[in-house]
Amino acid sequence: MPSPTYRLIMQAILTRQQILCIYGGFARAICPIILGHTAGRERVLAFQFAGGASSGLPPGGQCKCFDVADMSEVELRQGRWHSGRSHRRPQYCVAEVELDVNPDSPYEPKRPIATAQRGKLRRKR
């Protein structure tokens, strides 16, 4: 059974909403990209575009991996979708991908974005 936070992140991916949360003691603004599990833990790969981080946040933001269980004060908000510039490197954050914002995901998600909400979202061609 997915956690309430996992379900909220799933909703954010399906509706392309930003997420505000606290993680590692820092307030963060992220756009979730890939959601699933690694070694039984709920994980999300997201593009962090604002907020703090222990290693700092480069101008323009960067992709980061989050353990869903360690996220708190999670809320959705409307706003511009951020995804970064380059998607050439493979991701290693999420081993078992359930949902990927990319409709042409190479990770074989369990719920393809084109059918995830019974056709409410259409695959871009």
% pLDDT > 90, the chain = 70
* Best CA proximity match to 112, nearest among 103, 124, 125, 121: 103
Q: What is the pLDDT of residue 4?
A: 97
Q: What is the pLDDT of residue 23?
A: 98
Contact (CB, 8 A) for 95 and 38: yes
pLDDT band for 125, please (50, 70, 90 cuts): very low
* Best CA proximity match to 101, nearest among 39, 15, 38, 41: 15
Q: What is the pLDDT of residue 78?
A: 96
Would the pLDDT of 14 be above 50?
yes
Q: What is the pLDDT of residues 77-123, one digit of tens each?
A: 999 999 876 566 789 999 999 999 988 888 888 887 765 554 444 33
What are the distances in angstroms from CA 59 to CA 30, 53, 78, 86, 114?
14, 13, 22, 15, 32
Would the pLDDT of 13 be above 80?
yes
pTM here? 0.86
Contact (CB, 8 A) for 28 and 46: no
